[in-house]
Amino acid sequence: MTNSLRGRHRDSRPAMTPLTILARTATENAGTVARRGAIAAAAGGVLISTIATTAHAAPAMDLKTDVKSAKLNTVDLNSLTAVAKQAVAAAPTVTVPSDAKMPIEMEVLGASSGADGEKGEGPAVVSVDAPDPVPVGQQAINIAFNYLGITYVLGGNSPAEGMDCSGLIQYVYAQLGVGLPHSSSAMLSSGYQVTYPEPGDIVWTPGHVSLYAGNGMIIEAWAAGMPVRYTEMWQNSPTFIRVV
């Protein structure tokens, strides 16, 4: 009896590679592709869509062996491309008007509170502290600077005719609504004496007065025919009179 042995034929199925498995998984699940949404960028109606597909775990494989033997399969890549095209074509289109506005919730700070302690509605009232007013004495010095160079004239009390020492001080304070006598001796009792002078205080010595300008400086009409000047205080042990 003759025994005929048939040789084993090689499996006619195509070789399995990582690309083949990925293509088959994508093809089988093409109908259940999940589309998670679109991100719209409103810039003249331009839309940017982001589509995410559901990821499927591939069967376990020996990467060290299969990757080495894997070959580029154009049919499998085309299958993946077809699945991607179907997903993009079926994705919903979202458009946003170019003038769309996004409401933003903001907490108003400094808003008034109601009787129950809750924050009141309406615009917040922001208080801004006004700058400190300029002291009258400093205002007097600021005015006196305008008359530097005016000629000393005995008995004068205006820029037009010239000014003597008391006439200068009288004219400066008159512009601030403060009336002073046109006499250096009378000015000694026109205010109250202070130990440490501030701008605008009268620097009094027998027969002469000037205005303290701060930092050891004075403004004065000091001699006949000479201009009003800004100079260092030269008086020894003067009396300082504050009129306001």
The domains of the chain are located at: 18-90, 136-242
| pLDDT for the residue 118 | 55
Return the structure tokens found at 221.
Answer: 């009409």
CATH architecture of 136-242: Alpha-Beta Complex (3.90)
The answer to whether 163 and 150 are in contact (CB under 8 A) is yes
> What's the one-letter identity of residue 84?
A
pLDDT at 34: 41
Helix (H/G/I), strand (E/B), else coil: 204: strand
Angle, helices 18-28 vs 74-90, to 10°: value is 30
- Identify the pLDDT of residue 204: 98
User: What pLDDT, on the 0 to 100 scale, is given for residue 56?
Assistant: 44
Q: How far apart are CA 230 and CA 96, in angstroms?
A: 71
pTM of the model: 0.50
Residues of the chain with pLDDT below 50 are 1-11, 30-65, 67-75, 108, 111-112
Exposure class string for 145-159: b at 16+ Cβ within 10 A, else e? eebeebebbeebbee
- Taking the CB of residue 205, how many other CB atoms lie within 10 A of it? 14
- Nearest-Å Rg of the Cα atoms of the chain is 49
Given this model, what pLDDT does residue 130 score? 75
How confident is the model at residue 38, as a pLDDT?
38
Q: How many Cβ atoms from other residues are within 10 Å of residue 124's Cβ?
A: 12
- b or e along 63-89 (b: 16 or more beta carbons within 10 Å of the residue's beta carbon)? eeebeeeeeeeeebeebeeebeeebee
- Whether the CB-CB separation of 209 and 218 falls below 8 Å is answered with no
